[in-house]
Amino acid sequence: MNHPSAPAEADLTVDGTGLLCVTLLLRLRRRIGDAPPGTVVHVVATDPAAPLDLPAWCHMTGHTYLGTVPGREHVYALRLSADARATRPDAPWHPLPRDAETPEADKSGSPP
């Protein structure tokens, strides 16, 4: 899978060491809630499913998956999008129906 190159520096780091992806996505969603579009996020994830789950979550939400960070084991990068799709606060792997989204929804996918 081809992705834009992952920058070595992050604006925000979310440490999910030891977490399953379900819990990691809950933490990630909370942490990016106030971050502006364009923010580069590094996600530390040791769950073996992370290389599949993080790109899938980015595809679903509209954030840009940048891939693994060179020279850093278990670190993945993504860039927050201005037009991210809102997700459920208790289940960030489930998008909100389009009619439930509002222009004021933050870019983590949480409604106002």
Catalytic residue among 6, 14, 19, 21: 21
Q: Could you confirm whether 58 is annotated as catalytic?
A: no
Query: Rounded CA gap, 23 and 39, in Å?
Result: 21
Q: At 54, is the secondary structure helix, strand, or coil?
A: helix
Residue 60 per-residue DSSP state: H
State the catalytic residues.
Answer: 21
